[in-house]
Structure 1
Amino acid sequence: MADLAHAAERMALTLSQNGLQKATARVLSALLFAEDDSVTAPELAERLTLSSGSVSGALKALLTVGLIERVPAPGSRREHYRLREGAWAVLMSTQNTVVQAMFEAADEGIAAAGRDTLAARRLAEMRDFYSFMFRELPTLVDRWQAERTRRAQG
């Protein structure tokens, strides 16, 4: 059990070192390592020794990007949460809006800087990269889902 707790904390540290807020990283990690199908916000707060506000903010952030979902829990008056099935593919699919926004920002920057400037060349590389990612992400997600289905079928 100590190894599991250590692995969960290591995961949270890795997530926070790579951009997630610390509380959000800890909540995501707790959901990844949870032995129960779903958990409540108060359970997370107690397990992680976090304030209810921190847990609430983390859950909201994770719900927004599609990594977790609320689930019904018959007989319980509290909301229950779990890691969404296919969460990572959902996350990458939602990244299309981020990728599109970055593409558009780079394109606007090129127009503002003037086409024959150093800034425009830098921004063109950014725009072209995000254009490529926007085109390729759906295909990668589809390939992942097909591979996942093949693995599940054994």
Structure 2
Amino acid sequence: MSTEEQQDRLLRWVERVAAFCVEEWGLPPITGRILGWLMICDPAEQSAGQIAEVIQASRASLTSNMRFLTAIGLVKKVRRPGDRVSYYRIEDDAWQKVIQRKLESLSAFGEIADEGLDIAGGEGHRTERIKAAHNSLTWLQNLAARHPLRR
């Protein structure tokens, strides 16, 4: 496979990651492209300029998205001694953090469902709808407790 074909294949994969991030998490496409690129790039640490060039993003848009990804702990800013350029890499535990946050948000909704069961009075169709949500969330919490994430 030629270098150009390999690069095209990498960029198609990055676009698949971006599409997933848009469809499943409601993130902007550029955020998904950054994550995708940082997952597959070599070397693992890339400057903002390198990332912007590869994913064809403006520096301004890239900067705000990098700030967001760094703030939520998925991307790490790295400095090299004697180099004034900042580099970025995906955190080693980025996906563990994503899953943990999802589980925590579902747990929080479980508490809301508990309150809904109290309000609904324990009988009738509305109680059954809330119980269905509650039971699914309880199942997921139990599954996560039995199978903790490992690196």
**Given the alignment, which residue of 55, 65, 71 partners 2:62?**
55
d(CA) in 1 for partners of 2:137, 2:75: 26
Contiguous gaps of at least 5 residues in structure 1 = 149-154
> 2:110·2:138 contact (CA, 8 Å) conserved in 1?
yes
When the two structures are aligned, how many residues end up with a matched partner? 144
Determine whether 1:14 maps to 2:20.
Answer: yes
Determine whether 1:87 maps to 2:89.
Answer: no
Deviations 1:70-117 (A, max 9, x none): 333222334322112133223222333212211112122222333213
The alignment's TM-score, normalised by the length of structure 2, stands at 0.76
Which structure 2 residues correspond to residues 58-73 of structure 1 after superposition, within 5 A? 58-73=65-80
* Residue 55 to residue 114, structure 1, CA distance change in 2 (3 Å): farther
The alignment's TM-score, normalised by the length of structure 1, stands at 0.75
Deviation at 1:123, TM superposition (A): 1.2
> 1:40·1:78 contact (CA, 8 Å) conserved in 2?
yes
> 1:92·1:141 contact (CA, 8 Å) conserved in 2?
no
Of the structure 1 ranges 51-60 and 76-85, higher mean CA displacement relative to structure 2 is found in 51-60
Deviation at 1:138, TM superposition (A): 4.3
Q: Secondary structure at the match of 1:75?
A: coil
Which structure 2 residues correspond to residues 18-37 of structure 1 after superposition, within 5 A? 18-19=24-25, 20-37=27-44
Determine whether 1:131 maps to 2:128.
Answer: no
d(CA) in 2 for partners of 1:89, 1:102: 20
Query: How high is the sequence identity, in percent, across the aligned residues?
Result: 24
Q: Secondary structure at the match of 2:147?
A: helix
* Residue 51 to residue 100, structure 1, CA distance change in 2 (3 Å): same
- What is the Cα-based RMSD across aligned positions, in Å? 2.4
> 2:79·2:85 contact (CA, 8 Å) conserved in 1?
no
For 2:137, give the aligned amino acid. Answer: Y
> 1:26·1:48 contact (CA, 8 Å) conserved in 2?
yes
For 2:45, give the aligned amino acid. Answer: S
d(CA) in 1 for partners of 2:70, 2:141: 23
